[in-house]
Amino acid sequence: MSYLKFSADQIFTGTELLSDQLVLITNKDGSIIDLVAEENAGDDIQHHLGILAPGFVNAHCHLELSHMKGLIPEHTGLPKFILKIVNERHHSDELILNAIANAEASMIVNGIVAVGDISNNALSVAQKQLGNLAYHNFIEVSGWKPAIALPRYKNAIQVRAQFKSGNSTLNPHAPYSVSNDLWELLQPHFEDGVITIHNQENPAENQLFENGEGDFVSMYQAMNIDQTHFTPTGKTSLLSVLPKMQKARNILLVHNTESTPQDILFANQQAIQQNQHIHWCLCPNANLYIENKMPPIEMLRRYNVNITIGTDSLAVSVWHELKSITKNNQYIFTRNSFGRIIAMGYIQWRKSFTA
């Protein structure tokens, strides 16, 4: 059997940085055979500058919105950003499909091998069927008006049926966009499954649930959406909706820029009681673009939660997300801390995206 041998300035296993005196040995199809000391590796070693590492997992992506990159100004804040998405996302299928293909190609070039992709429609199906990357399809459902809960749910079922390859699950979009009626329709699909939800991306989300005020109230007024069905809970948005997801096996909370220690402790307690895996997915470049704010990474690490990385709809490189973390958080500039930061890009696919 023929072997390929690789060395680099550093080797990262997915959990730790190793010495630069090691050589990775694979067969010709790329399957890893061994990791040995350089003096035992023999000849024909290919040396690379930088870090030799496994492929990244992009835990949160919007392939279907790839065509909107750069169309919305920076720092609008989330409610205005959402209004822009709703009003400007509709373009020709040809334009959208080309953008999807280009975004996937860029992810591959940037070392991504697996993706958790948000899908509101089936436009990404054909690209995914090519099998270039491993996908979990998070079929997203939203509807703040109770009257549209059933048609939105039925549409999501139809969308999911079109995804023949990869795993597909039904998912609530966000606490501020799913009515109680829609939650009741979705909950039977959570049992022993994998779900994701946009979480606490903007201060207005907590305001809506705590006291019924804030920019999301203004957003729904601008959209002529009645809100009389909603009664504030007096709690943060996460404390209000996480109990609705108790039957899920794995939960991916995305963004978390406004999460508090109370939210984290509550989530940790529910995870223990319900035997769940709860992952906190960060998309720092999207947060900087929309809110000009970083997620509370130091606080999340202090509570030892599972942190993952996503690119959202604005970027295609997990490595660029990790670089933003290092740029905006000085504590990572040690060898050991840097290894922990890189590990955020390597969640276990089976553990996080399968039941």
- Span 3-52 CATH architecture: Roll (2.30)
Q: What kind and span of H or E run contains 35? A: strand 32-37
Q: What is the mean pLDDT of residues 154-160?
A: 98
Q: Does residue 12 carry a pLDDT above 90?
A: no
Q: What tokens does 304 get?
A: 């030892």
Is the pLDDT at 329 greater than 80? The verdict is no
Q: Where in the chain is the domain with CATH 2.30.40.10?
A: 3-52
Strand-by-strand arrangement of the 56-61 sheet: 56-61, 112-119, 134-141, 167-172
Determine the average pLDDT of the residues in 29-34: 88
Tokens for 224, please give them. Answer: 């002529």
Is the overall model pTM greater than 0.85, yes or no?
yes
Q: Give the tens place of pLDDT for each residue, 277-302.
A: 999 999 999 999 999 999 999 899 89
- Give the HSE-up count for residue 138: Cα atoms under 13 Å, Cβ half-sphere: 30
Q: Residue 51's pLDDT is what? A: 87
CB atoms under 10 Å from CB of 261, counted, come to: 12
> Is domain 56-353 annotated with CATH 1.10.1040.10?
no
At 40, list the tokens.
Answer: 């035992």
Listed in order, the ranges of the chain carrying CATH 3.20.20.140 are 56-353
Mean pLDDT rounded to a whole number for the chain: 90
What pLDDT, on a 0 to 100 scale, did the predictor assign at position 117?
Answer: 96
